[in-house]
Amino acid sequence: MVNETQHTCSASSSSRSDGGSSSGSESSKDNSRCSTPVLDADRHERLREKMRRRQDAGDKWFSLEFFPPRTANAAVNLISRFDRMGAGGPLFIDVTWHPAGDPGSDKETSSMIIANTAVNYCGLETVLHMTCCNQTKDDITGHLQKAKRLGLKNIMALRGDPAGEEWEEEVDGFNYAVDLVKHIRNEFDDYFDICVAGYPKGHPEAESYEADLRHLKEKVFAGADFIITQLFFRPETFLKFMKDCQAIGITCPIIPGIFPIQGYHSLRQLVKLSKLEVPQEIKDVIEPIKDNDAAIRNYGVELAVSMCRELLDSGMVHGLHFYTLNREVATTEVLKRLGIWKEDPRRPLPWAVSAHPKRRVEDVRPIFWASRPKSYIYRTQEWDDFPNGRWGNSSSPAFGELKDYYLFYLKSKSPREELLKMWGEELTGEESVFEVFTCYITGEPNRNGYKVTCMPWNDDPLATETNLLKDQLEKVNRRGILTINSQPNINGKPSTDPIVGWGPSGGYVFQKAYLEFFTSSEIVTALLKVLKKYELRVNYHIVNVKGQNITNAPDLQPNAVTWGIFPGREIIQPTVVDPVSFLSWKDEAFALWIEQWAKLYEEESPSRMIIQYIHDNYYLVNLVDNDFPLENCLWQVVEDTFELLN
Amino acid sequence: MVNETQHTCSASSSSRSDGGSSSGSESSKDNSRCSTPVLDADRHERLREKMRRRQDAGDKWFSLEFFPPRTANAAVNLISRFDRMGAGGPLFIDVTWHPAGDPGSDKETSSMIIANTAVNYCGLETVLHMTCCNQTKDDITGHLQKAKRLGLKNIMALRGDPAGEEWEEEVDGFNYAVDLVKHIRNEFDDYFDICVAGYPKGHPEAESYEADLRHLKEKVFAGADFIITQLFFRPETFLKFMKDCQAIGITCPIIPGIFPIQGYHSLRQLVKLSKLEVPQEIKDVIEPIKDNDAAIRNYGVELAVSMCRELLDSGMVHGLHFYTLNREVATTEVLKRLGIWKEDPRRPLPWAVSAHPKRRVEDVRPIFWASRPKSYIYRTQEWDDFPNGRWGNSSSPAFGELKDYYLFYLKSKSPREELLKMWGEELTGEESVFEVFTCYITGEPNRNGYKVTCMPWNDDPLATETNLLKDQLEKVNRRGILTINSQPNINGKPSTDPIVGWGPSGGYVFQKAYLEFFTSSEIVTALLKVLKKYELRVNYHIVNVKGQNITNAPDLQPNAVTWGIFPGREIIQPTVVDPVSFLSWKDEAFALWIEQWAKLYEEESPSRMIIQYIHDNYYLVNLVDNDFPLENCLWQVVEDTFELLN
């Protein structure tokens, strides 16, 4: 990721009196004075610039198209898919606009909110589709303003399907996609990157293929930045189209739309909608196997791979756009076989970065939300600026409340029945809670034979990194140190380390050991005695639900617990233990006992009262071992505490 | 230095809706949100707070009084003395006000400018004396405004000596120190910390000892923060005075003024001025040895030590104020024998911190000015804010010009004749320049038998740290790699390391290896070929006097080359290699060839033309080895370059 180009610039003397002559050095000065270390150029570029840079570097890339789900549950699943498919490294994803589904609304299934989630919570560069026919200018401006407010930066401008069977031109309305392109440029200047659709076979309603090319040119000249094409079945269809576009002066990127055939019915439906004809050689293969889904999908993958190879080999194609139909398997398979799915995506930072433009400088977060990054993003969404370089630099300290614990993108993926199986239909005491924690750590089934794959504080199985600490974690959870977050100390591993690495290559990453847990006041009393022996070496924060707070943090300063040293860069310290935000986290961490766990049981039931008791009486503790080059002493601290208790 | 106090605070829920009830946690939030990491509490406190903190901690401290010099040369020497005596760790120094010497002027010898130098360039907490009799209110307000502008924060408010032999009260004028105290509080509110003088034997002009105590109380009640006393000869004089002060309600700190007798004449003169009587037992010792300076000084040291011990042992005295008479030996000796001279002062940062309040957040600087910190402070004095946390955060990028290379606090301490002996009366070619550099590194005498103890870029002998690289430096300088700045790589040494340590204890410091040198274009050509092999690992910037600039810095970002990890703190990265400021430094570094070296010789002389040739044709190069955990590869880079040339 490091810019390795050697650049020679003749800079005049930088003294002030030289005045205008020093423009060369001034502009580079501006560049370097920005408050953001360019850890990852991707975060700071517009989509069209990323495309250009990838093309210049000879990198092949891909993008993924999704449509909005019908139900809230489907939305939760789609968002997990965004996370999983996002890991493969798409240049962007796009979300289609469903006029019938109230696409600009705040419903959790609307196009707007799904795109919002993708960009803000999943950190994906996102293109929001928007259609214009049958809509007023005000409606459209309103949608665009909302999209901008939510951090969306890219619009796919479409005409949309006519209301009736036959389309009629409206006076004074938006009749063509070009009207929408012009409107966006008029009202929002250069704010959005605009994509338009291209039809390799010509739009079905166009007078002719040539006339349709002219319409496309109009859209580009009105301000579109790139083109995504309708699906097609033969590579030569696209390559001819691309040459024809270039011949009439269309020079922007044209991205082929790839449709891996995934089933007989979906193909038929798509063909009907797009008024395309399936070539005979494909029909010949498909018809005989039309009832064998797996066979059709295998064929579809094969066909897509060979078409994509031909396109990429032509040298004219740098990116591929996939119509996923919200499915994962076929597209992922094609991408893996093409070798453009990132098997080991480099993490720019140890946590998932949000793609909202306001957050592009963000590079420090408190460690507390490590397993709940979407909650962190949600609770800080109103911040005017984000910590950059130092946590202390943030001028927007107030965390928003997380009132609705069932906010749809924070909702547990597991239904109540499943949670009860994992966490216990009936609790008999604090020890049965210890057991749940222990099973989550070990991965062993609980006494009823169910594996505990999630906890209120961790919606996913243990991170690979946490696995490094598994044995010790098991031991302490069994005895009532109920761990919810931890990291081992790391003394300078390469930034490319598959488990703990992050940031550009050629660097070194470091961590201070961290342990966060709930525990009883009895254990806290012993712990505090033990901690006196470790003063200076171990920083601690201990707080109960009422906010009684015991800490030895010097002047309540944040403690950097993850940092990286990279070639040619300032130091990056992406996670800190911040005593002040710990108090905001505390509210959330304690509330999860009630909201996610206690409420599974009847009011007044013994199980519920056990969780309520823990909520009311336990302390939340975090410990940092500052001596990162030495062996982690936190296990010894806990050991000493148990010894003192015996 | 870490605040080890365990503080328990009951913080209410931090949610917004709690409104006013959360004031407890809000205030601590403000505290931690300040943009400065409290690396060194000293930098952020007022003098009176520092005094209180030291007293509370049971620390003993000292302060040093100086008077302004008569000549510019004496000023240069006094400033070196500030640097040397500052290393012993005085809580503050103070500079007396000489009404006859135009004390508020911009002359390099004025009280105002000497105090300015102490605070800004030597980083010393400084008290400026100011007298008020025979001056208009406007004059005094003007002086105070100027002091504030220069970053002075403490005033010793004095009446001053009367114009004639007998003092007469002026109507509407300032007649007493108390008038000045009131004036400062009226006009500048609480901005300044104010000190006033106390007279353990009573002021010679006061009606009585008791009346003088009442005057002192008036001064304190008018707003003075602490008292420094006139000198005295017996500890019981001070202790009685202190008890008497306390008895009438004076509760602020009272600091005994200590006068180590350093010579017969200075004692006589001081006694005459202060109208004090020397006790018979002291006269008895001194008279017989009055012509033996050393004997008198030894006696003076002995006497001062025993008096100070008695004062400190009384438990009533926490700080001692020394009348140094601008001399070093006696005071330093007394302080060392008392054990309050800091033998190994902890450096809060690897470079000397300026004490100007505007710069209190400053914690990042470019490495280039490492040997010329006063020049850096001078060239950045107009900045509105200073880099904090990251170099890139600075919003004040323009470096002021350094036009006057003989700015008095940057002036070489050596006269022209001495420089000629060190750097050569007559140069015979570039090789004789190589030789000068080599002799500076090795410490061996040059061909004429003179040691080279300074260079245009380094006014002092080699730093201890540079000594670690001595052998390699010698080798490369002999061959025309003319080094002016370097540091070894450090992979996590304790922050208390006597050579490379800095910052609070319990931490770890790191460095990337750095090498900066002038060299010929022939060597640069070979070097660039060699550097290709080291891409990513080695960052380089190569520039000539015309500004032709070759670098592989990614996006012209700064590279952190010194950083520290401390318990309970964010990461501190006090030095960076910044490609943009390198161009400002380049102007200064090249100009020093001409201003300090070439100008020693006649115009058109061969020696001058040799230096001029180097100035016009050589390149300034800096190299950073990013792989700090491995063995420094920069020597290998240079070795490879020489090999390629052969």
Dump pLDDT digits (tens) for A55-77.
999 999 999 999 999 988 888 88
Mutate to test the interface with A, among B14, B362, B509 (most CBs of A within 10 A): B14
B26, pLDDT greater than 50: no
pLDDT-derived band at A393 (thresholds 50, 70, 90) equals: low
A95-153 pLDDT per residue, tens? 999 888 899 999 889 999 999 999 988 889 999 999 998 888 999 999 999 999 999 99
B405-422 pLDDT per residue, tens? 666 666 677 788 999 999
Catalytic residue among A4, A26, A49, A65: A65
pLDDT given for residue A94 in this prediction: 97
B275, pLDDT greater than 90: no
A3 touches B: beta carbon within 8 Å: yes
A551 touches B: beta carbon within 8 Å: yes
Residue of A nearest to B591 (CA): A13
A556 and A568 Cβ atoms separated by less than 8 Å? no
pLDDT given for residue A12 in this prediction: 35
Q: Which residue is associated with the tokens 């939340």?
A: A620
List the single residue in A29, A397, A560 with the smallest CB-CB distance to B33. Answer: A397
Instruction: Extract the tokens encoding B400.
Output: 């002021």
Q: Which residue has the higher pLDDT, B109 or B463?
A: B109
Give the residue from A280, A296, A196, A284 showing the smallest Cα distance to A233. Answer: A280
A210-242 pLDDT per residue, tens? 999 999 999 999 999 999 999 999 999 999 999
Q: Which residue has the higher pLDDT, A107 or A529?
A: A529
Contact between B9 and A401 using a beta-carbon 8 Å cutoff: no
Q: Residue B365 phi/psi, 5° resolution?
A: -140, 155
B436: Cβ–Cβ under 8 A, 6 or more apart, which residues?
Answer: B422, B423, B424, B446, B452, B455
Q: Which residue has the higher pLDDT, B40 or B429?
A: B429
pLDDT given for residue A10 in this prediction: 36
A80, pLDDT greater than 80: yes
pLDDT given for residue A607 in this prediction: 97
pLDDT given for residue A171 in this prediction: 64
pLDDT given for residue A168 in this prediction: 61
Residues of chain B positioned with their CB less than 8 A from the CB of A2:
536, 554
Contact between A390 and B570 using a beta-carbon 8 Å cutoff: yes
pLDDT given for residue B41 in this prediction: 59
By mean pLDDT, which of A449-463, A608-622, B154-168 is the weakest?
Answer: B154-168
d(CA A336, CA A344): 12
DSSP E strands: which ranges in B241-285? 254-258
pLDDT given for residue B164 in this prediction: 56
B245-262 pLDDT per residue, tens? 999 999 999 999 999 998
The structural domains of chain B, ordered by start, are 61-164+171-262+300-338 (3.20.20.220), 383-485+512-557+577-645 (no CATH)
d(CA A612, CA B10): 21
List the single residue in B5, B37, B550 with the smallest CB-CB distance to A557. Answer: B37
CA distance A121 to chain B (A): 22
Secondary structure in 3-state letters for B24-88? HHHHHHHHHHCCCCCCCHHHHCCHHHHHHHHHHCCCCEEEEEECCCCCHHHHHHHHHHHHHHHCC
Q: Which amino acid is at A598?
A: A
Spacing of C-alpha A541 from chain mean position: 30
pLDDT-derived band at B171 (thresholds 50, 70, 90) equals: low
pLDDT-derived band at A368 (thresholds 50, 70, 90) equals: very high
A165: Cβ–Cβ under 8 A, 6 or more apart, which residues?
Answer: none
A442, pLDDT greater than 50: yes
Beta bridge partners, B66, equal B95
Contact between A551 and B6 using a beta-carbon 8 Å cutoff: yes
Q: Which residue has the higher pLDDT, B1 or A390?
A: A390
d(CA B161, CA B141): 19
Stretch A581-599: mean pLDDT, rounded?
A: 93
Look at the alpha carbons of A498, A501, A504, A509 in this order and tell me if their dihedral is positive or negative.
Answer: negative
pLDDT given for residue A27 in this prediction: 33
pLDDT-derived band at B392 (thresholds 50, 70, 90) equals: confident
Contact between A10 and B576 using a beta-carbon 8 Å cutoff: no
By mean pLDDT, which of A398-412, A428-442, A529-543, B428-442 is the weakest?
Answer: A398-412
A25, pLDDT greater than 60: no
List the single residue in B2, B507, B555 with the smallest CB-CB distance to A31. Answer: B555
Long-range CB contacts (< 8 A, 24+ apart) of B537-540?
B537/A506, B537/A567, B537/B625, B537/B626, B537/B627, B537/B633, B538/B623, B538/B624, B538/B625, B538/B626, B538/B633, B538/B634, B538/B637, B539/A567, B539/A568, B539/B577, B539/B623, B539/B624, B539/B626, B540/B621, B540/B622, B540/B623, B540/B624
Give the residue from A549, A362, A408 showing the smallest Cα distance to A114. Answer: A408
pLDDT-derived band at B233 (thresholds 50, 70, 90) equals: very high
By mean pLDDT, which of B37-46, B153-162, B326-335, B439-448 is the weakest?
Answer: B37-46
Residues of chain B positioned with their CB less than 8 A from the CB of A573:
570-571
pLDDT given for residue B517 in this prediction: 98
pLDDT given for residue A13 in this prediction: 35
Contact between B583 and A552 using a beta-carbon 8 Å cutoff: no
pLDDT given for residue A8 in this prediction: 37
Q: Flag whether the pTM goes above 0.90.
A: no
pLDDT given for residue B410 in this prediction: 67
By mean pLDDT, which of A588-597, B20-29, B295-304, B548-557 is the weakest?
Answer: B20-29
Residue of B nearest to A577 (CA): B568
pLDDT given for residue B523 in this prediction: 97
Q: Which residue has the higher pLDDT, A283 or A634?
A: A634
Whether this model's ipTM surpasses 0.95 comes out as no
Exposure of B429 in the CB half-sphere (CA atoms within 13 A) = 2
Stretch B37-55: mean pLDDT, rounded?
A: 78
Packing angle, helices B209-221 and B235-247, rounded to 10: 60
Q: Which residue is associated with the tokens 């009446």?
A: B159
pLDDT-derived band at A410 (thresholds 50, 70, 90) equals: low
B457, pLDDT greater than 90: yes
By mean pLDDT, which of A621-625, A626-630, B161-165 is the weakest?
Answer: B161-165
Q: To the nearest whole number, what is the mean pLDDT of chain A?
A: 87
Stretch B131-149: mean pLDDT, rounded?
A: 92
B559-605 pLDDT per residue, tens? 999 999 999 999 999 999 998 899 999 999 999 999 999 999 999 99
DSSP E strands: which ranges in B174-316? 193-198, 226-231, 254-258
CA distance B385 to chain A (A): 13
Contact between B15 and A510 using a beta-carbon 8 Å cutoff: no
pLDDT given for residue B397 in this prediction: 65
pLDDT given for residue A169 in this prediction: 66
B425, pLDDT greater than 70: yes
pLDDT given for residue B260 in this prediction: 94
CA distance A229 to chain B (A): 35
Q: Which residue has the higher pLDDT, A466 or B111?
A: B111
Q: Which amino acid is at B483?
A: T
Contact between A397 and B29 using a beta-carbon 8 Å cutoff: yes
Looking at chain B, the whole-number percentage of residues with pLDDT higher than 90 is 64
Which strands form B482-487's sheet, in the order they lie side by side? Answer: A7-10, B548-551, B538-544, B619-625, B513-519, B482-487
Q: Which residue has the higher pLDDT, A365 or B174?
A: A365
Q: To the nearest whole number, what is the mean pLDDT of chain B?
A: 87
CA distance B182 to chain A (A): 35
Q: Which residue has the higher pLDDT, B354 or A617?
A: A617
A568 touches B: beta carbon within 8 Å: yes
Task: List A residues 36-95 in contact with B (Cβ-Cβ < 8 A).
Answer: 36-38, 41
Task: List B residues 501-540 in contact with A (Cβ-Cβ < 8 A).
Answer: 505-508, 510, 535-537, 539
Contact between A560 and B550 using a beta-carbon 8 Å cutoff: no
pLDDT given for residue A165 in this prediction: 55
A303, pLDDT greater than 60: yes
B99, pLDDT greater than 50: yes
CA distance B556 to chain A (A): 6
pLDDT-derived band at B204 (thresholds 50, 70, 90) equals: confident
Q: Which amino acid is at B610?
A: I
Q: Residue A493 phi/psi, 5° resolution?
A: -90, 155
pLDDT given for residue A555 in this prediction: 77
Q: Which residue has the higher pLDDT, B521 or B467?
A: B521
Q: Is B65 a catalytic residue?
A: yes
